Amino acid sequence: MPRLGAGATQIGKTFETRLRASGVAGAIAPAAPDLGVLAQRLGIPVVAQHADPYEAGPHTGYVVPEAIAAVGGRGSLLNHSEHPLLPRTIAATFRRLEALGLVAILCARDVARSGRLARLRPRYLAVEPPELIGGTRSVSTAKPSVVSGTVAAVRKVSPRTHVLCGAGIHNRHDVRRAFELGAEGILVSSAVARADDPAQAIDELLAGFP
């Protein structure tokens, strides 16, 4: 089943059930057309994959923060490697989300960029080397210094920011190693979205949480 529409709802409900059983906190970031549906049907936080810095009005084709809030979204990813933004755009969008009480999960591709984005003092910052996204090698095993280095760089600037890591994380060993390196959570897409059995994939990932 495609992981959109009804498929997204199915994964979302499975994810919610597994999270509650495990006691792990989590959120889901569906494609934009599914955002409102999942926000209404799920009891876990639903966030957008992207947001733009504009106000509601004549901005056809953009995802304005007001629209995310209006359908029950709790925030948005920003600057994912598959949708990179200029630094000034990240800052402007971050401020717009914060002003509306929405959570911004900033994404960075390496240690240096993580340290710079930490100056915004976001609640969450995720490091994801783009060359490992969607692959079979996880950042926590292939590039552990990126995770530990990001944790150190972010804590130096913004101690209250929670550092997440993503890219290539597929199993409990990848997750466990991420926590050993100082991360406080993970960002996952293909490990679940491409899995033959998403429920089994979710269970495998959750098994690595402390």
Write out pLDDT tens, residues 69-105. 999 999 999 999 999 999 999 999 999 999 999 999 9
| Domains within the chain, CATH numbers bracketed | 6-12+27-206 (3.20.20.70)
Question: Which tens digits make up the pLDDT trace of 43-54?
Answer: 999 999 999 999
Catalytic (active site) residue 128: yes
Catalytic residue among 128, 131, 170, 173: 128
Of 152, 153, 148, 147, whose CA–CA distance to 117 is shortest? 153
Alpha helices in 71-171 (DSSP H): 87-99, 111-117, 139-142, 144-157
Catalytic residue among 80, 162, 173, 180: 80
H/E run at residue 180: helix 172-180
Of 86, 85, 76, 88, whose CA–CA distance to 51 is shortest? 76
Ramachandran assignment for 29, one of left (phi > 0), alpha (psi -120 to 50 degrees), beta (any other): beta
What's residue 141's pLDDT?
79
